[in-house]
Amino acid sequence: MGRRTPGPHLEEDVTAESPAAPEPEVLAAFEAAKGFMPLREGLALYAAASDAAALGLPLLEVGTYCGRSTILLAAAARAAGVTALTVDHHRGSEEQQPGWEYHDPSVVDPEVGLMDTLPAFRRTLFAAGLEEHVVALVGRSPQVAAVWGGQLGFVFIDGGHTDEHAGGDYEGWAPKVAEGGLLVIHDVFPDPADGGQAPYRVHQRALESGAFTEIAVTDSLRVLRRTGTGV
């Protein structure tokens, strides 16, 4: 997760053009949903998804939780006539387990004693009226990536925040970003005082690959466009 309040080391939005904005009812659903993404970053995510949707390819996020950010991707997909895909095992990331900062006992399945955010996610999409624009891929990211053969216009990495999980998300999904498509990474904190470093290391890896060029920064959200081959 990383810290959710922008600190003094975080950069401001550097986009030059006026970005696309979600409809008021979409924004209201986003703000009402359980989750961690701040409004500024949510608006930047929607703008990036709207940009990428013009390619006519699916939009995918890794890390669904209860569907807060999924609302924005689904709305962008609906407007463009494409599909939003969201990947999660729905058992919670390492930071959401009992005893950790982001644990929420209301999303624990009492029968099995494990987190299960899938019902909350479904309720979120139903309340937003966006169910038909989303395909939920329930499973672990590397396994799902291994069987997904198509190209994607947009990949949003916001799953587990260890090097193993963030690196696996990048290795599994970044190769599937089409030419001109966008790779978006959340919780990128260049200064360790602001948050965990695994997403930052993935961000640096993407830049160093020569395959991606950064086009926008909003607090901890980084937007990169595929401008070359490889990962």
Per-residue pLDDT for 10 more than 70?
Answer: no
The pLDDT of residue 3 is: 40
Query: Would you state the pLDDT for residue 103?
Result: 67
Least confident range of 72-76, 107-111, 213-217: 107-111
pLDDT of residue 91: 85
CA of residue 162 relative to chain centroid, distance: 15
* 211's tokens: 């395959």
pLDDT tens-digit profile of 192-214?
Answer: 999 889 999 999 999 999 999 99
CA dist list (Å): 107 to 34, 104, 111, 114, 194: 10, 6, 12, 9, 27
Pair 95, 1: CB distance under 8 Å:
yes
Average pLDDT over residues 113-132: 93
Three-state SS at 142: helix
Rounded to an integer, what distance in angstroms lies between the CA atom of residue 203 and that of residue 2? 15
The mean pLDDT value of the chain amounts to 89
| 3-state percent breakdown (helix, strand, coil) of the chain, nearest 5 | 40, 20, 40
Q: What is the pLDDT of residues 97-111, one digit of tens each?
A: 576 566 667 778 788
Cα separation, 183 vs 152, whole angstroms: 10
- Tell which residue, 102, 109, 93, has the closest CA to residue 34: 102
3-class DSSP state for residue 212?
strand
In this prediction, residues 164-175 reach a mean pLDDT of 97
Instruction: Quote the CA–CA distance of 3 and 36 in Å, as a whole number.
Output: 9
Q: Would you state the pLDDT for residue 6?
A: 36
Distance CA 134, CA 74 (A): 6
Residue pair 45/15 in contact (Cβ under 8 Å)? The answer is no
SS3 224: strand
Q: Give me the catalytic one of 89, 161, 165, 186.
A: 161
Model pLDDT, residue 15: 41
Using a cut of 0.85, tell me whether the model's pTM lies above it.
Answer: yes
Asked whether the beta carbons of 165 and 93 are under 8 A apart, the reply is yes
89 tagged catalytic: no
Q: Tell me, what's the pLDDT at 16?
A: 44
- Retrieve residue 58's tokens: 């699916």
Q: What was the pLDDT predicted at 135?
A: 98
Q: 139-160, pLDDT tens digit by residue? A: 999 999 999 999 999 999 999 8
